[in-house]
Amino acid sequence: MKRTKLQKERSLYSKNKIVRFFSNDPVYNYSSLGKYSKSDLALAYNGKRDIHSIISEIPRATFKEITSYGQIELHTHPNILIEGNNLTALDALLNNSDVSGNVRLVYIDPPFSTNQEYRIGSDRTSTVSSSNGDILAYSDNLSGSEYLEFLRERIILLRELLSEDGSMYLHSDYKIGHYVKIIMDEIFGASNFINDITRIKCNPKNFSRKGYGNIKDMILFYSKTRNFIWNEPRVEMSEEDIIGLFPKIGKDGRRYTTNPLHAPGETKNGATGEKWNGLFPPAGRHWRVGPKELSRLERLGLIEWSKTGNPRKKIFADEVFQRGKKLQDVWELKDPPYPIYPTEKNLELLKRIITASSNVGDIVLDCFAGSGTTLVAAEELKRKWIGIDESRAAITAILKQLQKIENVTSYVHYKCTASTASHYLKSRKKQ
């Protein structure tokens, strides 16, 4: 029986790309793991291991291709869905030159140490109620130091997978998130902390408990270096925004506000400390721009003088409205009311993150892939993606989500299993 051209191409691809995608031998220089940025603060807890003890005990990964989707191109690797332990899989990715150091964005929504089981029923998905016949999606049964070390081990590897201009977003909650931030500071360096994003996740609650109702969780945003990808996200301004932010109306009917043209700090030797229009900057301050630019703004009628005799720049509402207002760090993007998987996140939330911190064609990685929302968002935004999850229920949900996408990019589903080959573990300890 003759094989078709596509079958021949896929066979060739398997021999030259898929089989070699996950190396059997450790090629990554693990000694560099000890050189990550460190914070002045560190979280001490029982069971916290040094990096090389962690690495030496990660078992070798064996990958079996379950199936592939879409037409595979010979010269580019497909997107990857890995079913298996994410620590073992991340370690294997470190030994792949196409991925290691080339991931532009990591987003993870790990378990929150809730000590709960999350189940899926035949006609509903619920995180609150369940019945004996429901399928177990995953168990969130780690707590305390055991949970923190579980997460820390994965964050260490995730940072190494990032490109130098890459970023990581970690979703957490108010109970455990503050401990996780200290771990992130240790691994990424406190100077690479960008934002603690508050996400409004649900409608107000009226549970009878002593304390305020909880309607938010947190997303920690870190960059690997200060030179990170950033596509400024802006949001549409409402009429209420315009009236509140631009209270003044000019003779031409245009709404505007004013900003001071001086800023904190004196300039001893420089144009921004010089006299302009007979005025020096106020004491302890400097001009935001030099005298030439101040004169240009005045000629254009863009300077208004305050009652105290200081120049202020006019900012017009119609100009700002066109580009929208800067996105702040409180996001109201609630969870889906009818999720297909427990703790499923809002698709627009992931699209916002992916758009801001990656470009078309970049690799996006989620090693707690769950419902597959990150992968769907990445696919729709024309990014490459890698998803990892150990739960069979999660993999089933992800495959269903991806199959709904018309003309989905090619991807391969792998089953990852761990070997306890002693020679492999010993070879790591020698590095």
* Domain at 215, CATH number: 3.40.50.150
Per-residue pLDDT of the chain in tens (431 residues, 90 and over written 9): 444 333 333 333 333 344 445 555 556 676 666 566 566 778 888 999 988 888 888 888 888 999 888 765 544 678 999 999 999 999 999 988 889 999 999 999 998 655 566 555 555 455 545 555 666 555 556 668 888 999 999 999 999 999 999 999 999 988 889 999 999 999 999 999 999 999 998 888 777 778 888 889 999 999 999 999 999 999 998 889 999 999 999 999 999 999 999 999 998 889 999 999 999 999 999 999 999 999 999 999 999 999 999 999 999 999 988 888 899 999 999 988 888 888 889 999 999 999 999 999 999 999 999 999 999 999 999 999 999 999 998 999 999 999 999 889 999 999 999 875 444 444 444 44
Asked if residue 413 and residue 334 are part of one domain, the reply reads: yes
Q: What span, in angstroms and rounded, lies between the C-alpha atoms of 41 and 401? A: 41
Last residue of a domain, one of 282, 305, 325: 325
Asked if residue 149 and residue 22 are part of one domain, the reply reads: yes
Asked if residue 228 and residue 240 are part of one domain, the reply reads: no
Cβ–Cβ contacts within 10 Å for residue 15, how many? Answer: 10
| Token pair listed for 192 | 């690479």
Q: What span, in angstroms and rounded, lies between the C-alpha atoms of 343 and 199? A: 14
Asked if residue 364 and residue 292 are part of one domain, the reply reads: no
Asked if residue 32 and residue 145 are part of one domain, the reply reads: yes
Asked if residue 88 and residue 65 are part of one domain, the reply reads: yes
| Token pair listed for 168 | 């990581």
Output the pLDDT for position 424.
44
Work out how many domains the chain is built from and give that number.
Answer: 2
Output the pLDDT for position 3.
40
Last residue of a domain, one of 295, 325, 355: 325
For the sheet with 125-126, list strands across it.
125-126, 116-120, 135-140
Asked if residue 274 and residue 162 are part of one domain, the reply reads: no
Last residue of a domain, one of 293, 325, 357: 325
Asked if residue 314 and residue 245 are part of one domain, the reply reads: yes
* Domain hosting residue 248, numbered range: 236-325
Asked if residue 22 and residue 71 are part of one domain, the reply reads: yes
Cβ–Cβ contacts within 10 Å for residue 111, how many? Answer: 21
Asked if residue 32 and residue 140 are part of one domain, the reply reads: yes
Tell me the angle at which helices 86-94 and 144-161 cross, rounded to the nearest 10 degrees. Answer: 20
Measured CA distances, 133 to 120, 121, 123, 124, 129 (Å): 9, 7, 11, 12, 12
Is pTM beyond 0.85? Reply is: no
Angle at 113 between CA 110 and CA 119, to 5 degrees: 75
Output the pLDDT for position 142.
65
Asked if residue 339 and residue 224 are part of one domain, the reply reads: yes
